[in-house]
A = this chain, B = another copy of it.
Amino acid sequence: MTELGIMGGTRDFLPQEMNRREYVIDRMKQVFRKYGFEPLETPSIERWDTLAGKYGEEGEKLIYHVISSGKLRQGMEEPNFLANYLSDAESRLALRYDLTVPLSRVMGMYGDQTYPDPTDPKGKRQLRKLSRPFKRYQIQPVWRGDRPGAGRYREFFQCDVDVIGSESLLVEAELVAIGSEILSSLGFPSFTIRMNHRKLLTGLIQWSGIPKHQEAVALTAVDKLDKATPEEVQQELLAKNCAKDAVEKLFKVIGLEGNSREVLAQAQELLAQSPLALAGIQELEKVLGHLKDYEIPEQNYKVDLTLARGLDYYTGTIFETVTPAKVGSIGGGGRYDRLIHDLSNGKIDLPAVGTSFGLDRLLTALEMLDLLQTVPPISEVLVTRFTDPGAATLGLSLAKELRNEGIHTEIFYGDEPFSPNEMRKQLGYANEKKITYVLILGPGEIESGVVALRNMNDRSQQMVPLDEIVPMLKQLCHT
């Protein structure tokens, strides 16, 4: 018999791990909702033609196909099954590769359509449209058949938050504010949301004299500046036949130092001849203005002209979040005003801006900085059992009372038929589940109308009158 196991690059999330994941997801959701973002979920399985041609040749190789057992069995009788299958894009199915293409499909399908409002009482359903702008968050797994490695999984969660249908720069500011609020609430002692602008970058590259056909090369090289030194990147550009003085001009601007406003002011002076770069600078300045109005602490964000972001679909502001943990960026995004048009197969044309958090990176960063120690275990109280609860036993009604107060309470199950378990075994269970408070309800205690309250953390123990135990635990657990 083969060993039990799972596919490399996928994971079982056992309770302690899940508890932390849910804690982080809940924090994110809370912030998203506070800003009026609404949840969206899309099917795991998409039609192949929805995903095809959207991720580049290399990306497309990583998509997982989904084929029903029935179809495969049928295929056994078809000599050219595989060739036929691969040529029939419309009926092919695949697992979603990201959350952006499904969002674009949703916009293409429902963006201009009305549908019956599910929140109206049955029979009175008014027609409804997606709100415009459409503000949604989406937290779901995606699948990529990549080679598994440190921090690289085949099934992983993306947490995307996007606004479709607004050109307002207030959106960029709100996304930065949301990122800032999430990271602060998770306890990061410091972090930086780096910001740059694609118009500024493109204007700068053109201004520096790098010819049009080398723009992409230059952008890709600049994008490496978070890992390579400026000298290395300059060498790369020279090796790729960029002119020496162009590279020098480029790095003169990229290397500007100072706070966000100072960097922009200097860039504005140097790039005075590039209307495109100036437009980018002006937009960044507006975003900075909104961030000031929102009173986001200035140390949380920074204009950083070395930020490029690999993906070529960005059209405006771009951002990326880094923390003191050495795991790379934990989130990033930007404005992509033409992507929805392209990805929805031309069905809808709307400006868009969004950001995506990598749940795994975020959790790794939190763990590296030991910031998850405060996530409480789920169970708070264990009620022990030393006598069989027949009719109307104290332990069960006590557990019920505690649960009614919202206190997470377990009762020790024991064996069947019930035989009194030793204290050691019951305390051992509390230890396994990291339960802090144990209520010891022996026959002696019950008779004297008290309960022994044991704190498993400091191993202290006190006798508490029965009618005081619920209010006492309420205070201990909810503060």
Contacts and interface: CB of A to CB of B under 8 A. Distances in A.
A121 interface: yes
Interface residues of A, number: 135
B403 A20 contact: no
A93 interface: yes
Interface string A3-46: 01111001111111111111000000000011111111111111
Interface stretch (A57-65, A217-225, A240-248): A57-65
A229 interface: no
B373 A119 contact: yes
A433 interface: yes
B16 A117 contact: yes
A292 interface: yes
Interface stretch (A168-176, A201-209, A255-263): A168-176
A37 to B, nearest CB: 8
A347 interface: yes
A108 B5 CA distance: 9
B170 A411 contact: yes
Nearest to A432: B131
A44 B143 contact: yes
A349 interface: no
A479 to B, nearest CB: 18
A2 B89 CA distance: 11
Contacts of A154: 45
A33 B381 CA distance: 12
B347 A15 contact: no
Interface in A134-166: 135-136, 141, 143, 145, 154-155, 163, 166
Interface stretch (A188-196, A389-397, A444-452, A464-472): A389-397
Contact of A4 (B45, B95, B344): B344
B434 A119 contact: yes
Nearest to A13: B41
A100 interface: no
Nearest to A115: B14
B34 A408 contact: yes
Given A40-B18, A170-B411, A406 B145 contact: no
A422 interface: no
Interface in A79-132: 81-83, 85-86, 90, 93, 95, 105-106, 108-110, 115, 117-119, 121-122, 128-132
Given A15-B39, A65-B67, A130-B14, A44 B155 contact: yes
A64 B68 contact: yes
A315 interface: no
Contacts of A115: 14
13 contacts: A2-B90, A13-B39, A16-B119, A16-B128, A34-B408, A35-B409, A37-B378, A61-B69, A64-B67, A122-B367, A132-B432, A167-B415, A171-B413
Interface of A: 1-2, 4-7, 10-22, 33-47, 49-50, 60-70, 72-73, 75-76, 81-83, 85-86, 90, 93, 95, 105-106, 108-110, 115, 117-119, 121-122, 128-133, 135-136, 141, 143, 145, 154-155, 163, 166-171, 174, 289-290, 292-295, 344-347, 367-368, 370, 372-373, 375, 377-379, 389-393, 396-397, 400, 403, 406-411, 413-416, 418, 429, 432-435
